[in-house]
Amino acid sequence: MRLSKGSCILICMLIASTNLVTLFDQGKSHEISTLSDGTDWIIETVDDSGNVGLYSSPAADESGNIYCSYYDATNGDLKLAIDLGYGWVIQTIDSKGDVGLFTSLAIDSNGNTFISYYDNTNHNLKFARWDSIEKVWVTETIDGNESTDVGWSTSLVIDSEGRPHISYYDFTHNKLKYATYALYYWVTMYVDDGGLYNSIGITSDGKPCIAYRDANGTLKYAEYHGKQGWLSTIVDETPDVCDISLDVDSSGMIHISYYDSGYIKYAYGNGTEFNVEEVDYVTHGGWGSSISVLYGIPRISYYDYLDKDLKYAERTLDGWQIYTVDSTGNVGQHSSLCLEEDYVHITYYDSTNGDLKRAKKQIPPDIILYEFYPVQVVKGAGVIRRGIDDTSLGIKVDRPDLVEKKETLIEIWYWSFFPNPVQTDIVVKVFDSTGTPVKTVRETRWIMPGFHKLGHGDASKWVPPANQYLKDEITKPKVTIRVEIVPVPGEANPNNNVLEGEFDVKRGELSILYFMVGRQKADLPLLITDFLPIYIFSSDFIDGTYPVSSVRAGINPEPLLFNPVTGKLPFEDRETLYITLAVLARVSGYDRGIGIVKKGWIFDNFQPPPGKPNEWRGTVGVCIPAVAGVLCEVGYISTPAHEIGHTYGLWIGREEYDLFDPGKETNVYWVEKRGNAPHELQRRGYCFMGYAPRQWSYFNKGLHVWVDVNCYSHLYNRITQDPEVILVNGFIEKNGTAEFGTWYHLPKGSVDINIGDRGDYTFVLLDEGGHTLGEAGFNVSFCEKGNASINADSTAFAFTIPWINGTKEIQLKDRAGSILASRIVSDNSPVVTLISPNGGETFMMGDNITISWDAYDLDGDNLTFAVLYSYDNESWFPITITSGNNCTWNTKWIDPGNYYRIKIIATDGINTAQDESDGTFTILPNSNPPVVSIEKPEDALYIFGSRIFSLPIPVIIGNISIEAIATDDVGISNVSFYVDDELKYVDYTPPYTWLWDERAMGLHRIKVIAYDLSGNPAVDEKRVLIINLNLH
Q: Are 78 and 17 in contact (CB under 8 A)?
A: no
Please tell me the predicted confidence (pLDDT) of residue 786: 55
Please tell me the predicted confidence (pLDDT) of residue 526: 81
Please tell me the predicted confidence (pLDDT) of residue 635: 85
Cα–Cα distances (Å) from 524 to 598, 634, 817, 881, in that order, read 6, 11, 45, 22
DSSP structure string for 382-393: EEE--SSS--S-
Beta strand pairing call for 955-957 and 1017-1028: parallel
Contact residues for 344 (Cβ-Cβ < 8 A; gap 6+) = 299, 312, 337, 360, 361, 363
Please tell me the predicted confidence (pLDDT) of residue 943: 94
C-alpha span between 320 and 312 (Å, rounded) = 10
Q: E strands within 282-366? A: 289-294, 297-304, 309-316, 319-326, 331-339, 343-350, 355-362
Amino acid at 849: I
C-alpha span between 947 and 759 (Å, rounded) = 68
The DSSP bridge partners found for residue 397 are 382
For each successive 10 residues of the chain (1032 residues), what is the average pLDDT?
A: 37 41 40 51 95 96 92 97 89 96 93 95 96 87 95 95 95 97 90 97 92 97 91 93 92 90 92 92 86 84 94 81 94 93 91 97 87 89 68 72 93 87 96 96 91 77 86 95 95 88 92 95 83 90 91 92 88 92 96 95 89 83 91 90 90 39 56 52 73 43 69 88 88 94 92 91 96 94 62 88 96 95 96 97 93 97 97 94 95 91 97 97 92 96 94 95 92 92 91 94 96 90 93 65
Q: Are 708 and 664 in contact (CB under 8 A)?
A: yes
Secondary structure element (H or E) that encloses residue 681, with its range: none
Contact residues for 529 (Cβ-Cβ < 8 A; gap 6+) = none
C-alpha span between 524 and 758 (Å, rounded) = 40
Backbone phi, psi, residue 241, to 5°: -90, 150
Contact residues for 683 (Cβ-Cβ < 8 A; gap 6+) = 457, 667, 668, 704
* Closest C-alpha to 118, from 133, 137, 139: 139
Contact residues for 751 (Cβ-Cβ < 8 A; gap 6+) = 720, 721, 722, 725, 800, 801, 802
C-alpha span between 941 and 634 (Å, rounded) = 41
Q: Are 680 and 670 in contact (CB under 8 A)?
A: yes
Backbone phi, psi, residue 8, to 5°: -65, -40
DSSP structure string for 707-761: --HHHHHHHHHH-EEES-EEEEEEEEETTS-EEE--BEEESSEEESS-TT---SE
Degrees (nearest 5) of the Cα angle 588, 592, 593? 75
Beta strand pairing call for 367-375 and 382-384: antiparallel
Please tell me the predicted confidence (pLDDT) of residue 6: 40
Secondary structure element (H or E) that encloses residue 651, with its range: none
Say if residue 533 is preceded by a cis peptide, omega within 30 of 0: no
Secondary structure element (H or E) that encloses residue 270, with its range: none
Please tell me the predicted confidence (pLDDT) of residue 702: 41
* Closest C-alpha to 582, from 600, 603, 560: 560
Say if residue 937 is preceded by a cis peptide, omega within 30 of 0: yes
* Closest C-alpha to 700, from 553, 552, 544: 544
Quote the DSSP letter at residue 608. Answer: P
Secondary structure element (H or E) that encloses residue 247, with its range: strand 241-248
Q: Are 108 and 158 in contact (CB under 8 A)?
A: yes
- 3 state DSSP class of 562: coil
Say if residue 437 is preceded by a cis peptide, omega within 30 of 0: no
Contact residues for 149 (Cβ-Cβ < 8 A; gap 6+) = 123, 170, 171, 172
Please tell me the predicted confidence (pLDDT) of residue 315: 81
Q: Are 302 and 264 in contact (CB under 8 A)?
A: yes
C-alpha span between 661 and 617 (Å, rounded) = 19
Cα–Cα distances (Å) from 913 to 524, 728, 743, 810, 830, in that order, read 34, 16, 12, 19, 6
The DSSP bridge partners found for residue 798 are 627, 729
Cα–Cα distances (Å) from 20 to 50, 80, 85, 520, in that order, read 16, 10, 18, 90
Q: E strands within 507-643? A: 509-518, 550-555, 560-561, 592-597, 621-623, 629-633
Q: Are 116 and 161 in contact (CB under 8 A)?
A: no
Cα–Cα distances (Å) from 340 to 113, 365, 419, in that order, read 16, 14, 12
Please tell me the predicted confidence (pLDDT) of residue 318: 65
- SS3 letters for 11-50? HHHHHHCCCEEEECCCCCCCEEEECCCCCEEEEEEEECCC
Report all structural domains of the chain as residue ranges with CATH numbers, in order of start.
Answer: 5-362 (2.120.10.10), 367-506 (2.60.40.1930), 527-672+685-719 (3.40.390), 721-824 (no CATH), 831-924 (2.60.40.10), 931-1028 (2.60.40.10)
* Closest C-alpha to 609, from 601, 617, 621: 617
Please tell me the predicted confidence (pLDDT) of residue 822: 97
> Helix, strand, coil % (nearest 5) of the chain?
10, 50, 40
Quote the DSSP letter at residue 523. Answer: G
DSSP structure string for 437-462: EEEEEEEEEEE-SEEEETTTTBGGGS
- Helix orientation angle between 639-647 and 532-545, rounded to the nearest 10 degrees: 60
C-alpha span between 418 and 415 (Å, rounded) = 9
* Closest C-alpha to 255, from 188, 337, 192, 152: 337
Please tell me the predicted confidence (pLDDT) of residue 510: 93
Amino acid at 333: Q
pTM above 0.85, yes or no: no
Sign of CA dihedral 794, 799, 801, 805: positive
Quote the DSSP letter at residue 590. Answer: -
C-alpha span between 502 and 620 (Å, rounded) = 42
Q: How many CB atoms lie within 10 A of CB 893?
A: 15
Contact residues for 613 (Cβ-Cβ < 8 A; gap 6+) = none
Contact residues for 507 (Cβ-Cβ < 8 A; gap 6+) = 403, 404, 476, 549, 721
Q: How many CB atoms lie within 10 A of CB 162?
A: 12
Cβ-in-10-Å burial (0-12, 13-18, 19+) of 133 comes to: exposed
Question: 308: left (phi > 0), else alpha (psi -120 to 50), else beta?
Answer: left
Cα–Cα distances (Å) from 22 to 9, 79, 746, 852, in that order, read 17, 13, 88, 105
* Closest C-alpha to 254, from 290, 215, 202: 202
Taking the alpha carbons at both ends of the chain, their separation in whole angstroms is 75
